[in-house]
Structure 1
Amino acid sequence: MNTLFEIKGMTCSACSSRLERVINNVEGVKHASVNLATESLAVDFDKKAVSTAEIIKMVENAGFEATEKIAGTEILLPISGMTCSACSSRLERVLNNTDGVIKAGVSLPGETATIKFNSAIISLRDIRQTIKDIGFEAGEIESAQDAHKNFEARREDNAAKLALMKKKLIYALAFTIPLLIITMGHMVGMGLPSVINPHDSPLGFALVQLFLTLPVIWFGKDFYIHGIPNILRGAPNMDSLIAVGTSAAFVYSFWNLVEIAIGVDPMVKAMDLYFESAATIITLILLGKFQEGRAKSRTSEAIEKLMDLTPAMAILLENNKQVSTPIEEIGPGDNILIRPGDRVGADGTVYEGRSELDESMLTGESMPVSKTVGDSVAGGTVNTGGGALKVRVKNVGENTVLSRIIKLVQEAQGSKAPISSLADTVSFYFVPSVMAIAVLSGLSWYVFSDEPFSFALRIFISVMVIACPCAMGLATPTAIMVGTGRGAQLGVLVKSGEALETAGKINTMIFDKTGTLTYGQPELVDTFLADGQNGEELLSLAASAEQQSEHPLAKAVLRAAEKQEVSLPETTSFTGVAGLGIATETGGHSMLLGNKEYLSRNFVTGLDAKNATEAASRFESAGQSPLYIAIDGKLAAIMAIADKIKKEAPATIKKLHDLGVKTVMLTGDNEKVARTIAKSAGIDEVVAQVMPDRKAEVVNREKAQGRKVAMVGDGINDAPALASADLGIAMGTGIDVAIESGDIVLMKGDLTGVLTALALSRATVKNIKQNLFWAFAFNVLGIPVAAGLLYIFGGPTLSPMFAAAAMSLSSVTVVTNALRLKFFTV
């Protein structure tokens, strides 16, 4: 049996090696392999001899944490029928407690459920049925390939829903306004015709109210259709509160109407009708839901703008002809023409032409980026230059950078932040608690006071109506939706609500050097040659040896060789040692290229010669990395390679210090070079000559001191450190790779994006706290007033109509406040 486990607590290769030995020695384990970079343990074992629980116990005994990684299918389902956070919380709990469901998350504002499940235990059909059984409906699976189509359909569906809500609201108002005039006009001196005047015709007065109220109840019938069944299921929601409150008012008033008709105190009963309360409550709730729906539709504007970036047509170059072709028919390997002003339809590589592209919607960078032969282009960008580009298509559809960004933003908008857990928990228990408080308040006033039954009923209705958990459920997700969308517009791709919240708590920022603090394009700036060496011949040998290396210093040597157009001899063998150097057989010579320690280990002579030592010291003092080269066991040269520090680095580091953030730089360079660069940037602490697999140790050292740590790197060789940090921030210089790395991706590869991420996090968390405050404040203050607390001390009671207005206002306030994040700037 093959099983994969997620491992937490590994800090270095010694940890992974020890764990691997421990598990391989367990009886019944055929083979165990630990991957430090992915923090995983793959085990092939005999399940008759040992269980997964026993393996997990062995891992824990070794000092680590293990979680079985169940291969699951992840889907995104649109959910209809949710009206408040009680609905979303209940659905999420039911799904997460269903056998076979690994993890489920429900987004109220997004009206979606992200579900990861084990298809061997539960089918999608069963999941749909589970959702249906608790009163909701699941739509079709969201396919990444059809993302634009699905989003358009949902946008049209939302527009249709808003139009229907508006229609119902207008009709409800058309009946409610005359009803209010008839029942309350006398307060401002308005007279009524005798046929409906309560003094002349109590029955006519009551009947006209009934006939004006019935259409309003019809327009609000959804409250009863959803609310009453949810009570019967034992899971009441906002609709249940409205349905019970208005039903109580209507039934009580209808009974009084019957008594008026049979002559039981007609005048007294005519003054004890609450038809207008029922109608006004429904109308005000419809008004609030319409305003809330209109505001919520604006929370996904960032996604809409990204969706609209892909053009419908592209110009296909085929047999020397230009053919206008639907973008869906373009495939990898096709050649397309991007004229000035055109939007790029797919990812690809320029093979002819020169121009400039506006990449602002992908990277947040307002300045156009120059593109020429060999450069990559991303779908959705715009040719703003004066030249045409011929592009060979690489990725289309769901595989493009733009599609992947949209998918990640959608996932982030549907995710939850830790701060939301309180609201979710409260929402789940809130509605049943409110119903209990309403009943208790009404009974208390009726039993223990001299007030009439109508007063107790009004108290009951007011408590039921004012206490809606909608605002609590919307407080966090709406802010996350708007915040992550705004981040995408600014070139800061936040992958989850948790990452967004964590960013604001960071107090230690660890930077990789090459490609993060520096431009990552080192250049050969100087060379020391040992006696008898020829510079051109040595560059030729060194470039050939470095051809198979991915190290930035190797690239610098190759670029220098290309500039000087030297011929490269054949390299017949290549061995690389991470963080130290390489050994090759090149042009008939045995060569070693790397740092001084590596050559010293291999007993190279001439390393400590005075002129070599002086040259290396001079290079290091200037912040240049020395690359030692040995030929046939003797030092042949030392190449000085310099990588310029990014121009924005010093200002960014200073601002981080102003925010109270400690800064650390990690590099494989020697101490002297590292400190020179760190001093230029203003970095607090330097850890030099650190191997890639030991960067995570530095991260964990800071975490052990109780600090919240972010790691900023290029997302490739920094993978273990990015994974170990509380927050991994990947530089997006190589957009394709960076999208897959880190919790936050800086699409521009610009260090100022770090400040944007931190500021966006703090603004979003502040917004969430404001939302939660208002959500709780409306209920904490409103429920006691509605229950008659002020009336006990001679104050006023809360009319059910004002309670409905306050409830609607709370949701609109929360959504409107979240929308302020659309205008966030650093």
Structure 2
Amino acid sequence: MTQLIGTEVRKTYPVLEMSCAACAVSVESILKHTPGVSNATVNYANQSASVQFNPRTVSQEALQQAVRSMGYDLVIDDEDPLQIQQEAQQRQYEQLKARTIGAIALSVPVVILGMFFMDWAYTPWISLLLSAPVVFWLGRSYFINAWKQGRHGRANMDTLVALSTGIAFLFSAFNTVYPQFWHHRGQMPHVYYEAAAVVVAFISLGKLLEERAKSNTSSAIRQLMNRQPKTVHRLESDGTEREVPVTDVQVGDWLSVRPGEQIPVDGLVETGESYVDESMISGEPVPVAKTAGAALFAGTINQKGSFRMRATKVGNDTMLAHIVRMVQEAQGSKAPVQQLVDKIAGVFVPVVMGIALLTFAVWLLAGDAHAPGGNAFAQALLTSVTVLVIACPCALGLATPTAIMVGIGKGAEHNILIKDAESLELGQRVDAVVLDKTGTITQGKPVVTDFVWLGHRPDVDHLNAVLASLEAQSEHPLAEAVVEHVKEAGVRPGAVVLTQFESLTGRGAKGTVEGETYWIGNDRLMREQGLNTSTAEGQAAQLRQQAKTVVYFADQTQLLALIAIADPIKPTSAAAIRTLQQRGISVHLLTGDNPETAAAVAQAVGINEFTAEAMPNDKGQFIKALQAQGKVVAMVGDGINDAQALAQADVSLAMGKGSDIAMDVAKMTLLTSDLNSVPKALLLSKRTVQTIRQNLFWAFVYNLIGIPIAAGVLYPAFGFLLNPMMAGAAMALSSVSVVTNSLRLRSLRL
């Protein structure tokens, strides 16, 4: 994805080979220090880098080379980078799986020999032969990556693994080949092959489980991406159909869509008709009828009919691509708490290495009398290795991004698209919600709510036909609502012939049918024609009190009907507002409509505070005023006039059926345009932040407790020392527990 920012561009690239949060910090650091790059952020959980750079100063190839020098890789292929990343991750997963199985298979006999046959003369040699391939072949990636990091003066989790397993193995190999060194000093030549082998096996198993868990959190993106077909049937200039890749489709191409196929790109129906399942966009399970001129969206599913369509948006411009992009950006963004975690991860590894050296020095200086078995050097080595193993920062690095990814995926399941992690974190603090009226609380489309015939009308069918023909010619925005209402009564425009038509701006319209003149418009027009409206004034006033627009229909001598038109309130709006208020959140109505309509809508949905006739700038100032009171404000809107307020709000939510500008500005998009999604989004935010806090608590507590125990702090009082093998198991389980806790969000009921 590319975004222009002045003379610079911002692109998101998949990153390969990252194995921990410290890896992400290293990649981010090298990118930031690359000449021509003004900013870069790397997300470990999403395995992506967002880079803002000047393409005149630095090329994509240079960025890739910089990342490769650290032992990682940057996918710069513009054709289909996500597909390349997915394939690479799948290969990496399969390789990791094979290495893990191999490491476990070779480690088990080493453990058995070390536990039950430790006094057998051949045990050290067999263990050496079995553990060597585990440490240096199946675990070679840790040494390779540690070396590449070390060349740049950096250290990460791979550094810890390489140091701990390498030192344990070499120490054991020395004791196996030259046991006399210890025998001459009256000591036993202990070996720790099982520790080195099992650490590699456990860490590999933990990585395998993490990779699988991370792939589960990204399932929403893959499902969205799979909604677009790979090939389409394009109509050629000679009238024939040709199957071509969807990437070859251009704007203006004619495509053939058959029953059961997915719509390949956004477009318009040209010929034919069908029903299309648009639940992906609207959330509604009922298929939508599509005839000539109807809009189509990529990823939706054609039902039984077939039609030909013309492409209007292709590639990254389609709504489906827009949805995928928003989810990807959200999963790649960092919550403010994650920025703190990244800083900690950047210094964590060097600190742990310092603690390991201090542990070694303390045990060495403590003297032989205080060491188990009377060997201070061996015990100093063992405890320092244990510190290095148990301190791997996987759990810390996964604490925030996995929860964010699962939370965003959960939102996508409920048609809530979250554009960045910050809004997901801020949502749980919202204590004031500001709602636009039209298209947010209401349907956003005027419809006829009341149709009252005045007096006995035996010729209703004829009058309906006249009304339909008259309004079909009108350009008034409410005319379409009348036409639609008459159509529902079974009458279509054109059933009678208008011999004369005149639009009366600001008042209505008139037309002639079979020599008779008819009028439709407001009460001013009726009075101008000398028609008496007093007989219907009571009914008209009652309708106006309900925030409905009253239209009169008359012939040359009398009023024929009253027509009430309104933008109806969505069925779920009142319940959603009540839910927010029950949670202690104040709800405000902010609209550019007149005070009477605003009051009627506010009363109908239970809002006590409303502001009418608000211009776009007024809406932005209203949000600022609430924020000045210390409120954390969420703004919900759908129009261009809401854009300023959406940008000003702490958390902004746009209706999916609203304007593109509103959706671009807002941090969240409610695809179904259902107001019930607002309390769902805020609840999701609360649960996600709770999960992050739980993850961080356990990750920090784990290291605060585990590192001192590994260093031997309990030995003077209790004689307890942690074995490196158990430290490796605990480290792997801590990472898995954090990911598993994050995945619990998937079962959250919103």
Query: What TM-score do the two structures reach when normalised by structure 1?
Result: 0.77
Shift of 1:313: 3.0
Q: Deviations over 1:732-756 (max 9, x none)?
A: 1258666434111111122222233
Shift of 1:781: 1.6
> Which residue of structure 2 aligns with residue 531 of structure 1?
none
> Which residue of structure 2 aligns with residue 822 of structure 1?
746
Shift of 1:268: 3.7
CA distance in 1, matches of 2:340, 2:710: 24
Q: Deviations over 1:662-687 (max 9, x none)?
A: 11111222222211111111123111
> Which stretch of the first structure deviates more once superposed, 771-780 or 434-443?
771-780
Q: Deviations over 1:60-94 (max 9, x none)?
A: xxxxxxxx974321122222342211121233244
CA distance in 1, matches of 2:107, 2:615: 74
5 Å-filtered alignment, 1:282-301, equals: 282-301=200-219
CA distance in 2, matches of 1:676, 1:763: 35
Shift of 1:175: 2.3
1:389 aligns with 2:299: no
Amino acid at match of 1:214: A
Q: Secondary structure at the match of 1:102?
A: strand
Q: Deviations over 1:691-710 (max 9, x none)?
A: 23311121111111111111
For the structure 1 residues 263 and 745, does the alpha-carbon distance in structure 2 shift closer, same or farther, using more than 3 Å as the test?
A: closer
8 Å Cα contact 1:362/1:489 also seen in 2: no
> Which residue of structure 2 aligns with residue 657 of structure 1?
581
> Which residue of structure 2 aligns with residue 275 of structure 1?
193
Amino acid at match of 2:566: A
> Which residue of structure 2 aligns with residue 806 of structure 1?
730
For the structure 1 residues 150 and 81, does the alpha-carbon distance in structure 2 shift closer, same or farther, using more than 3 Å as the test?
A: closer
8 Å Cα contact 1:362/1:747 also seen in 2: yes
8 Å Cα contact 1:260/1:266 also seen in 2: no
CA distance in 2, matches of 1:720, 1:210: 68
1:226 aligns with 2:150: no
Shift of 1:648: 0.7
Amino acid at match of 1:150: P
8 Å Cα contact 2:16/2:88 also seen in 1: no
Shift of 1:364: 3.6
CA distance in 2, matches of 1:539, 1:705: 52
Shift of 1:455: 1.9
8 Å Cα contact 2:278/2:284 also seen in 1: yes
Structure 2 residue aligned with 1:179, among 107, 110, 130?
110
5 Å-filtered alignment, 1:438-517, equals: 438-448=356-366, 450-451=370-371, 452-517=376-441
Identity within the alignment, %: 39
8 Å Cα contact 1:522/1:641 also seen in 2: yes
8 Å Cα contact 1:700/1:724 also seen in 2: yes
1:151 aligns with 2:75: no
Amino acid at match of 1:800: P
CA distance in 2, matches of 1:555, 1:704: 43
CA distance in 2, matches of 1:513, 1:711: 12
> Which stretch of the first structure deviates more once superposed, 658-667 or 122-131?
122-131
5 Å-filtered alignment, 1:244-643, equals: 244-260=163-179, 264-265=183-184, 268-270=187-189, 272-317=190-235, 323-384=242-303, 386-448=304-366, 450-451=370-371, 452-523=376-447, 569=502, 618-625=542-549, 641-643=565-567
1:726 aligns with 2:657: no
Shift of 1:800: 0.7
Query: What TM-score do the two structures reach when normalised by structure 2?
Result: 0.84
Amino acid at match of 1:83: S
8 Å Cα contact 2:161/2:389 also seen in 1: yes
> Which stretch of the first structure deviates more once superposed, 556-565 or 415-424?
556-565
8 Å Cα contact 1:496/1:743 also seen in 2: yes
Q: CA RMSD in A?
A: 3.8
CA distance in 2, matches of 1:134, 1:154: 18
CA distance in 2, matches of 1:326, 1:422: 45
For the structure 1 residues 504 and 137, does the alpha-carbon distance in structure 2 shift closer, same or farther, using more than 3 Å as the test?
A: same
8 Å Cα contact 1:715/1:742 also seen in 2: no
1:773 aligns with 2:705: no
CA distance in 2, matches of 1:370, 1:537: 27
CA distance in 2, matches of 1:235, 1:585: 78
1:107 aligns with 2:43: yes
> Which stretch of the first structure deviates more once superposed, 312-321 or 446-455?
312-321
CA distance in 1, matches of 2:587, 2:440: 13
Amino acid at match of 1:216: V
> Which stretch of the first structure deviates more once superposed, 396-405 or 409-418?
396-405
Shift of 1:128: 3.2
Shift of 1:496: 0.9
Shift of 1:778: 1.8
5 Å-filtered alignment, 1:664-679, equals: 664-679=588-603
Shift of 1:173: 2.3
8 Å Cα contact 1:732/1:738 also seen in 2: no
CA distance in 2, matches of 1:733, 1:353: 25
> Which residue of structure 1 aligns with residue 518 of structure 2?
none
Structure 2: 5+ residue stretches without partners: 453-463, 512-520, 553-561
8 Å Cα contact 2:75/2:85 also seen in 1: no
CA distance in 2, matches of 1:233, 1:811: 27
8 Å Cα contact 2:106/2:131 also seen in 1: yes
CA distance in 2, matches of 1:653, 1:595: 36
1:784 aligns with 2:703: no
For the structure 1 residues 595 and 778, does the alpha-carbon distance in structure 2 shift closer, same or farther, using more than 3 Å as the test?
A: farther
CA distance in 2, matches of 1:612, 1:398: 55
* Alignment size in residue pairs: 700
Q: Deviations over 1:25-81 (max 9, x none)?
A: xxxxxxxxxxxxxxxxxxxxxxxxxxxxxxxxxxxxxxxxxxx97432112222234
Q: Secondary structure at the match of 1:733?
A: coil
For the structure 1 residues 393 and 736, does the alpha-carbon distance in structure 2 shift closer, same or farther, using more than 3 Å as the test?
A: farther
1:242 aligns with 2:166: no
Shift of 1:554: 8.0
Q: Secondary structure at the match of 2:640?
A: coil
Shift of 1:639: 8.9
For the structure 1 residues 663 and 262, does the alpha-carbon distance in structure 2 shift closer, same or farther, using more than 3 Å as the test?
A: closer
Amino acid at match of 2:54: N
CA distance in 1, matches of 2:152, 2:695: 30
5 Å-filtered alignment, 1:48-127, equals: 70-127=6-63
8 Å Cα contact 1:771/1:814 also seen in 2: yes
Shift of 1:263: 8.3
Shift of 1:642: 1.3
> Which stretch of the first structure deviates more once superposed, 93-102 or 463-472?
93-102
> Which residue of structure 1 aligns with residue 72 of structure 2?
136
For the structure 1 residues 299 and 743, does the alpha-carbon distance in structure 2 shift closer, same or farther, using more than 3 Å as the test?
A: same
Q: Deviations over 1:475-497 (max 9, x none)?
A: 22222222222322321111111
Amino acid at match of 1:790: L
CA distance in 1, matches of 2:182, 2:409: 64
> Which residue of structure 2 aligns with residue 59 of structure 1?
none
For the structure 1 residues 411 and 447, does the alpha-carbon distance in structure 2 shift closer, same or farther, using more than 3 Å as the test?
A: same
8 Å Cα contact 2:128/2:193 also seen in 1: yes
Structure 2 residue aligned with 1:692, among 587, 593, 616?
616
CA distance in 1, matches of 2:362, 2:748: 49
Structure 2 residue aligned with 1:168, among 99, 121, 135?
99
For the structure 1 residues 353 and 781, does the alpha-carbon distance in structure 2 shift closer, same or farther, using more than 3 Å as the test?
A: same
For the structure 1 residues 321 and 95, does the alpha-carbon distance in structure 2 shift closer, same or farther, using more than 3 Å as the test?
A: closer
Q: Secondary structure at the match of 2:41?
A: strand
CA distance in 2, matches of 1:366, 1:777: 47
CA distance in 2, matches of 1:787, 1:665: 60
For the structure 1 residues 91 and 315, does the alpha-carbon distance in structure 2 shift closer, same or farther, using more than 3 Å as the test?
A: closer
> Which stretch of the first structure deviates more once superposed, 723-732 or 150-159?
150-159
8 Å Cα contact 1:653/1:663 also seen in 2: yes
Q: Secondary structure at the match of 1:796?
A: coil
Q: Deviations over 1:630-675 (max 9, x none)?
A: xxxxxxxx99641111111111111111222211111222222211
